[in-house]
Structure 1
């Protein structure tokens, strides 16, 4: 009896140990799976996370905005005596300098006063891989209102160093969309569709046809401002102002 009992316990112990090991293996595998999933999610979050952008400086308030017959966004009096068109790349540092440093003065003196209708013509340079995507983001913002286009325009230039170095700036653009109060789901759907790709390509082609010397470039009442020999954005801006003043004087 004693031997059988001991053998019975021995056999039982052996079976119990095998089941326990199997259970431990299953549990260990489950834990490793959970860790792997958590690590994947964390990596994805790290790749797509976006830091909110800096708020742009204040611009003149209550300036009307709209879209012209060629699909380009403008601000100012639609019937202003002078039309200024800026050919610009959202990833161009000189364009960012104009937008953040020089344009507030021009906006206050010429646009807010009704003298100038200011049109933004996207001209993404081939060497700037995020220039076209930024233009898509601005156009998608513009679907929710012309004022939203200009809000995205300002965020893109104010935070150019933040998104321009990213391999995929989509999440960063969505962060800006959230900051300016867009319907982010609609914005993301628009951006993912790339439905403005052809429009931006056409905008680039029309700029190429003018043989633009670079960005930013300006046209006043359809006449490209001569910037031959200009060594700075300030000098380009000064020549544009001179052309505007001459056009206003001739009214």
Structure 2
């Protein structure tokens, strides 16, 4: 009897191992962590680390967000602060908003894959729709024991993406270099946590938004943007006077 039980357990163990190998084989090339990427020049790094923007490409002021899709604070920012920024500044053409990936992989094991999923959605022109969907469902996938590729594919379907193209992208190493470069760019700019918001005029006079809570971030963003707008207006007035 004992021999039969042992044989059965061994058989089940073998089947489990085979099943594990089959599941692993199906996603063996799926990049779920940063890759080795050595770029020492910041200008080259910026080229390798494109952000995803919304708003007028030529807007005088740029807001940069470094975010992690598994970060609860980033979810709160996406749902409460960014919509206010869009209405107040982006839709009028006053500000360009740029999203950069900064997955905190040491504490958020699925954040890198989520960042790649966002890039795969952007490939089909639906980054912001996917951005909202993946944040909206954050609690459903964040605690998954395994990489939640199936959930990410479901969200792609919900926003109307081509399933085959998205799946092919997600279950590869595509954009692993871009997300890694985004992380390195953030580190070069002093980013250590998420969400980090930087505001700049044409790449100069970079200001960090320091706020105690997510709720405090919009008033601080508003203050900095309005200060920069006043500076731009003053400089334009001085230039006009000098030319007359």
Q: Which has the higher contact order (CA 8 A, sep 6+)?
A: 2
Is 1:105 aligned with 2:84?
A: yes
The alignment status of 1:129 with 2:138, answered yes or no, reads: no
Structure 1 segments of 4 or more deviating over 4 A?
Answer: none
TM-score by length of 1: 0.68
1:142 is aligned to: 122
Please say if 1:90 is aligned against 2:63: no
| RMSD (Å) for aligned C-alpha atoms | 2.0
Gap runs ≥5 in structure 2: 1-14, 24-45, 233-244
Partner residue, 1:65? none
Out of 186, 199, 202, the position equivalent to 1:220 is 199
Alignment-derived partner of residue 169 in structure 2 = 190
Match of 2:181 among 202, 221, 227: 202
Q: So what's the TM-score if we normalise by structure 2?
A: 0.70
Counterparts in 2 of 1:236 and 1:154: CA distance versus 1, 3 Å: same
8 A contact 1:90–1:131 mirrored in 2: yes
**1:182-233: CA deviations, max 9, x gaps?**
1110000001112111111111011111222421111111414152xx3211
Contact kept in structure 2, 1:85 and 1:219, CA below 8 Å: yes
Q: 1:114 to 1:248 in 2, by over 3 A?
A: same
Query: Residue 231 of structure 1 aligns to a residue in which SS?
Result: coil
Indicate the residue corresponding to 1:76 in structure 2. 55
Q: Indicate the residue corresponding to 1:240 in structure 2.
A: 221
Residue 151 of structure 2 is aligned to residue 151 of structure 1: no
- Structure 1 unaligned blocks of 5 or more: 1-35, 45-67
* 2:143 corresponding residue in structure 1: 165
* Matched-pair contact (CA < 8 Å) for 1:225–1:240: no
Q: Deviation per CA, 1:42-92, whole angstroms, max 9, x where unpaired? A: xx9xxxxxxxxxxxxxxxxxxxxxxx9652110011111111100111111
How far, CA to CA, are the matches of 1:211 and 1:200 in structure 2? 17
Count matched residues.
183
Larger Rg belongs to: 1
CA distance in 1, matches of 2:180, 2:115: 10
